[in-house]
């Protein structure tokens, strides 16, 4: 067969680059390098990942005890028949809510998880959104009536000041960083709020080295300065903001000196940052996981939006642009939220977190629809079961039995807090199905493990969940299935196959994922194949100050500095600061035993969360998990670079290696997340080394520690102690 050139969308990280691929005889020959300079793919070739001997090739059914790593190869039809039969039996016995679905970071067609579940009748779609940008999407939509569009690099050319809050785009969103570097040449200022001197912080005009978990206090203190010094946009606030007087009263509770004490940021820096953000306009704030992973994440996220609103950044070039929906069939429309019966909605696990579940969703989206004509994508991101509630329900039948779980491209044993709870939950299931690319610690506990198509084997339509006007398309460069070699499927085939077996046939009329994408593109008059050839389509041009014609998609038609949605749901309508559940001031006795503040979850290349640990080239560069610690603290503890240490919290302890870093606060340590060791045995008790360095063994998964409105769970601000691992047993893999 002749060489062919194809174009596929890489899903390894945020930019979702469209790459030219050469194939011959169904084999990958060559792939273009990324247009992104900081592409983590440069560390290894996708040939190595794609043709890795550990990739899952055929459906597997457990034949030994759960966790014994004994499997039988079966066909897809056998797997789907058996799974559908068991799901129906469990539904008949316990109700549809007995099934939960969990997924990872946009490796899959997540709108289809929602479609299947809504039609099945379960409200329990659960993923990472509450600790990713999902909570930002919900808060922004509640306050602004749409989620500001900050995926566009070009807009930064018009931004005079960028404020990054707990965000390090060189590692987490490289296109934004490239956009900033370009904008910097024209004098764009940079403020970075981060406990670590990240790559972004190193470039900043102002780096505010904050105590973890105190961003709400800092932003309220900055607003105190902006309002006291009358640096806000008076006309915009008067005409288009609801609740300015109440906000002004609230920020009086946060004078700069008090905020400095709370946050560890010197008072003069707080004032300087406030002045810079308010006068170098249009400015733009971008929060990251440092904020999303906090125990009280609503307030810092709300405060970040409010500070931007009062200085007049909303819907202006270079500011917080509100794009509205792209004119095609959105993921939200595919999800069929309306198909979920009303009595099932209230059963969503974590329904006490009212902003992120049905009560908040309904209050927010009806106003969005009034102004934009469509809902803000996507339901499966903005109305979800909360992970700690899901795993508690599975483990303890509380508040009702959840006996079946489907995990699509995710590894909850590593990525969900309180690994011990997750382990207990997964071990107790009646039916656990995992679809993934490689065997993982979570998959080892499954009844069925299904091989998924990687990005080169699947078609993809991408527009950042309808937050941008750009739609990109990439084709499957390689067949997911080659008789006699492997039989992988994309999750469209999985959900459709399961749906048809469970009476959903009329809702899955498209035979292939490409047919399904044709349907979604119909309103644009283009087929998926045509869009693949074209590369991308820009569905509309930027248009600013649209609110002057329509108002904002909020209950008051204005930006809600004082949120009537929050008020309606019984929460404080204004942002406020609350000490983290564990902290030197809130739990001083705990802090005596565990004197350091542990943060986790910061991205580091070339890994992405729990992925790629089996890729030899990458592991040669980064063989073990590492923990950053200040040299003073390390000296006091008798530690040097590369020592193995225990990181211990009241919840558990794991080992990582020391990485001395002069730019981390001496009171804080940062432990890498996502670590497991595929080379260690798969069967219990090893589960590929999931208990060795996985920092979620040390985090808490109690609902009480989740944000009261959003249900987001903390991955930071745990009190910990660090001490040297004195020795290993002779046969321990780490002893070698």
Pairing of strands 716-724, 481-482: unpaired
**Smallest distance, Å, CB 36 to ligand SF4?**
4
256 binds ligand SF4, rule: CB under 6 A:
no
Cis (ω within 30 of 0) for the bond into 685? yes
Extract the tokens encoding 556: 């008051």
Residue placing its CB nearer to ligand SF4 in the complex, 169 or 359: 169
DSSP state, residue 242: E
Residue placing its CB nearer to ligand SF4 in the complex, 40 or 497: 40
Residue placing its CB nearer to ligand SF4 in the complex, 19 or 376: 19
16 binds ligand SF4, rule: CB under 6 A:
yes
Q: CA 561 to CA 241: how far, in whole Å?
A: 6
**Smallest distance, Å, CB 12 to ligand SF4?**
4
**Smallest distance, Å, CB 646 to ligand SF4?**
33
User: CA torsion, points 276, 278, 279, 280, in degrees to nearest 10?
Assistant: 70
Q: CA 571 to CA 670: how far, in whole Å?
A: 32
Q: Pick from 6, 7, 8, 17: which binds ligand SF4 (CB under 6 A)?
A: 17
Contact 362, 676 (CB under 8 A): no
**Smallest distance, Å, CB 175 to ligand SF4?**
8
**Smallest distance, Å, CB 475 to ligand SF4?**
16
**Smallest distance, Å, CB 597 to ligand SF4?**
31
21 binds ligand SF4, rule: CB under 6 A:
no
Residue placing its CB nearer to ligand SF4 in the complex, 40 or 601: 40
Residues 142-181: x where in contact with ligand SF4 by CB under 6 A, - otherwise, as a string: --------------------------------x-------
13 binds ligand SF4, rule: CB under 6 A:
yes
Contact 696, 416 (CB under 8 A): yes
Residue placing its CB nearer to ligand SF4 in the complex, 105 or 365: 105
Q: Which stretch binds ligand SF4 (CB under 6 A): 10-18, 133-141, 548-556, 620-628?
A: 10-18
**Smallest distance, Å, CB 44 to ligand SF4?**
10
**Smallest distance, Å, CB 701 to ligand SF4?**
30
Q: Show the CA angle centred on residue 584, arms to residues 579 and 589, nearest 5°.
A: 120
99 binds ligand SF4, rule: CB under 6 A:
no
Q: Which stretch binds ligand SF4 (CB under 6 A): 7-15, 518-526, 544-552, 686-694?
A: 7-15
Q: CA 682 to CA 677: how far, in whole Å?
A: 10
**Smallest distance, Å, CB 542 to ligand SF4?**
24
196 binds ligand SF4, rule: CB under 6 A:
no
665 closest CA partner among 65, 207, 351, 252? 207
Residue placing its CB nearer to ligand SF4 in the complex, 12 or 207: 12
Q: CA 135 to CA 293: how far, in whole Å?
A: 10
Q: Which stretch binds ligand SF4 (CB under 6 A): 11-19, 252-260, 391-399, 645-653?
A: 11-19
Residue placing its CB nearer to ligand SF4 in the complex, 172 or 269: 172
DSSP state, residue 726: -
**Smallest distance, Å, CB 32 to ligand SF4?**
9
Q: CA 126 to CA 405: how far, in whole Å?
A: 10
15 binds ligand SF4, rule: CB under 6 A:
yes
Residues in Cβ contact with 267 at an 8 Å cutoff, skipping those fewer than 6 apart: 256, 257, 259, 260
Phi then psi for 261, rounded to 5 degrees? -65, -40
Contact 139, 353 (CB under 8 A): no
555 closest CA partner among 372, 363, 382? 363
634 closest CA partner among 584, 592, 642, 197? 642
Q: Which of residues 483-512 bind ligand SF4 (CB under 6 A)?
A: none
**Smallest distance, Å, CB 149 to ligand SF4?**
19
377 closest CA partner among 342, 340, 416, 328? 328
Q: Which of residues 198-237 bind ligand SF4 (CB under 6 A)?
A: none
Q: Which of residues 116-145 bind ligand SF4 (CB under 6 A)?
A: none
Residue placing its CB nearer to ligand SF4 in the complex, 13 or 406: 13
Instruction: With CB under 6 A as the rule, give the number of residues binding ligand SF4.
Output: 13
12 binds ligand SF4, rule: CB under 6 A:
yes
Residue placing its CB nearer to ligand SF4 in the complex, 38 or 654: 38
Counted residue by residue, the chain has a size of: 736
**Smallest distance, Å, CB 23 to ligand SF4?**
17
Q: CA 163 to CA 67: how far, in whole Å?
A: 46
Residue placing its CB nearer to ligand SF4 in the complex, 40 or 602: 40
**Smallest distance, Å, CB 34 to ligand SF4?**
3
Helix (DSSP H) and strand (DSSP E) numbers for the chain: 29, 27
Q: Show the CA angle centred on residue 224, arms to residues 223 and 227, nearest 5°.
A: 80
Query: How buried is 203 (Cβ within 10 angstroms: 0-12 exposed, 13-18 middle, 19+ buried)?
Result: middle
**Smallest distance, Å, CB 285 to ligand SF4?**
24
99 half-sphere exposure, CB direction, 13 A CA radius: 26
Q: Pick from 7, 8, 10, 232: which binds ligand SF4 (CB under 6 A)?
A: 10
Residues 24-63: x where in contact with ligand SF4 by CB under 6 A, - otherwise, as a string: ----------x-x--xxx----------------------
Residue placing its CB nearer to ligand SF4 in the complex, 114 or 174: 174
Residue placing its CB nearer to ligand SF4 in the complex, 34 or 628: 34
Phi then psi for 568, rounded to 5 degrees? -60, -35
272 closest CA partner among 189, 334, 347, 149? 189
615 closest CA partner among 105, 108, 47, 56? 47
Strand intervals (E) in 582-651: 596-600, 626-629, 644-649
Q: Can you give the binding site for ligand SF4, defined by CB under 6 A?
A: 10, 12-13, 15-17, 19, 34, 36, 39-41, 174
């Amino acid at each position: 067969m002749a060489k062919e050139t194809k174009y596929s969308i890489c899903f390894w990280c945020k930019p979702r680059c469209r790459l030219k691929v050469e194939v011959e005889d169904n084999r990958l020959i060559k792939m273009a390098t990324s247009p992104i300079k900081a592409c983590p793919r440069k560390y290894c070739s996708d040939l190595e990942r794609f043709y890795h001997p550990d990739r899952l090739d055929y459906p597997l059914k457990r034949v030994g005890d759960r966790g014994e790593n004994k499997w039988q190869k079966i066909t897809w039809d056998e797997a789907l028949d058996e799974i559908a039969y068991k799901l129906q039996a469990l539904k008949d016995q316990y109700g549809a809510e007995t099934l939960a679905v969990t997924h990872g970071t946009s490796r899959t067609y997540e709108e289809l998880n929602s479609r299947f579940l809504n039609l099945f009748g379960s409200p329990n779609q659960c993923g990472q959104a509450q600790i990713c940008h999902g909570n930002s999407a919900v808060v922004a939509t509640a306050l602004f009536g749409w989620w500001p569009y900050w995926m566009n690099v070009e807009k930064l050319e018009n931004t005079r000041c960028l404020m990054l809050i707990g965000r390090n785009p060189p590692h987490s969103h490289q296109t934004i960083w490239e956009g900033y570097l370009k904008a910097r040449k024209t004098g764009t200022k940079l403020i970075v709020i981060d406990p670590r001197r990240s790559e972004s912080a190193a470039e900043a005009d102002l780096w505010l080295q904050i105590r973890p978990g105190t961003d709400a206090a800092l932003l309220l203190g900055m607003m105190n300065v902006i309002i006291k010094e009358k640096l806000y946009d008076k006309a915009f606030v008067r005409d288009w903001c609801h609740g300015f007087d109440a906000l002004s009263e609230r920020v009086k509770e946060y004078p700069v000196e008090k905020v400095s004490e709370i946050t560890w940021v010197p008072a003069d820096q707080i004032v300087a940052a406030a002045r810079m953000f308010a006068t170098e306009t249009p400015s733009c704030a971008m929060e990251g996981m440092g904020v999303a992973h906090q125990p009280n994440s609503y307030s810092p996220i709300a405060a970040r939006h409010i500070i931007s609103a009062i200085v007049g950044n909303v819907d202006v070039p270079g500011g917080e642009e509100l794009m509205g929906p792209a004119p095609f069939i959105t993921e939200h429309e595919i999800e069929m939220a309306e198909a979920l019966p009303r009595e099932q909605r209230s059963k969503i696990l974590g329904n006490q977190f009212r902003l992120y579940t049905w009560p908040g969703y309904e209050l927010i989206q009806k106003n969005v629809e009034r102004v934009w004509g469509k809902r803000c994508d996507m339901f499966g991101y903005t109305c979800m079961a909360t992970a700690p509630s899901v795993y508690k329900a599975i483990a303890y039948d509380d508040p009702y039995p959840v006996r079946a779980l489907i995990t699509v491209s995710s590894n909850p044993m590593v990525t969900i807090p309180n690994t011990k709870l997750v382990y207990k939950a997964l071990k107790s299931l009646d039916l656990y199905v995992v679809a993934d690319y490689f065997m993982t610690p979570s998959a080892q506990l499954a009844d069925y493990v299904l091989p998924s198509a990687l990005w080169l084997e699947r078609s993809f339509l991408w527009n950042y969940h309808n937050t941008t006007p750009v739609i990109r398309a990439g084709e499957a460069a390689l067949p997911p299935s080659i008789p006699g070699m492997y039989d992988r499927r994309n999750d469209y085939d999985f959900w459709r196959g399961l749906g048809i077996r469970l009476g959903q046939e009329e809702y899955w009329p498209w035979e292939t994922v490409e047919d399904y994408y044709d349907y979604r593109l119909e309103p644009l008059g283009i087929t998926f194949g045509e869009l693949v050839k074209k590369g991308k389509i820009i569905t509309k041009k930027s248009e600013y100050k649209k609110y002057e014609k329509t108002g904002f998609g909020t209950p008051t038609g204005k930006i809600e500095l004082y949120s009537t949605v929050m008020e309606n749901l019984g929460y404080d309508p204004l942002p406020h600061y609350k000490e983290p559940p564990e902290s030197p001031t809130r739990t001083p006795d705990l802090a005596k035993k565990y004197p350091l503040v542990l943060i986790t979850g910061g991205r580091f290349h070339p890994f992405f969360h729990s992925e790629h640990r089996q890729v030899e080239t990458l592991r040669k560069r980064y063989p073990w998990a590492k923990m950053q610690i200040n040299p003073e603290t390390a000296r006091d503890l008798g530690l040097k670079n590369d020592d193995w240490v225990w990181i211990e919290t009241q919840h558990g302890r794991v080992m990582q290696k020391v990485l001395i870093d002069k730019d981390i606060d001496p009171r804080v340590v940062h432990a890498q997340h996502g670590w497991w060791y595929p080379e260690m045995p798969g069967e219990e008790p090893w589960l590929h080394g999931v208990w060795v360095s996985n920092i979620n063994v040390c985090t808490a998964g109690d609902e009480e520690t989740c944000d009261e409105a959003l249900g987001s769970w903390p991955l930071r601000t745990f009190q910990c102690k660090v001490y040297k691992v004195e020795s290993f047993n002779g046969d321990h893999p780490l002893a070698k």
